[in-house]
Structure 1
Amino acid sequence: MKTKIALTALALIALPAVSFAMCSDRQHQAQSCAAGSQWNADTQSCEKVVNS
């Protein structure tokens, strides 16, 4: 019985840390820009699309 309680407590303590580690990567965030512009990863901003 004590083993089950200890394992359950360990799982409940570790779960938030694991989920935070999986979601902390900034590259997975979606960026949306206004119509006629696109996201530039180098400058980290929206830029107008130029059609030649």
Structure 2
Amino acid sequence: MKIKTTIAALALITLPALASAMCADKTHQAMSCAEGTVWDAGSQACVAQINS
């Protein structure tokens, strides 16, 4: 019984830390911009698309 309690406690401590680590990288989030605009990572905003 003591082993099961210890395993359950370790799981409750470890799983939130792992979930937090998985969300630490914010570079893979999708951004939707209006038609005719594109996402500019430098300004962190949608800017007009320039067609050349």
> What SS does structure 2 have at the residue aligned with 1:15?
helix
Root mean square deviation of aligned Cα: 1.2
Residue identity over aligned pairs, in percent, reads: 54
What TM-score comes out, normalization by structure 1 length? 0.82
What TM-score comes out, normalization by structure 2 length? 0.82
Inter-partner Cα distance in structure 2 for 1:50 and 1:18: 42
Runs (5+) with no aligned partner, structure 1: none
Report the counterpart of residue 11 of structure 1 in structure 2: 11
* Number of positions where the alignment pairs a residue of Structure 1 with one of Structure 2: 52
Report the counterpart of residue 40 of structure 1 in structure 2: 40
Inter-partner Cα distance in structure 2 for 1:32 and 1:24: 21
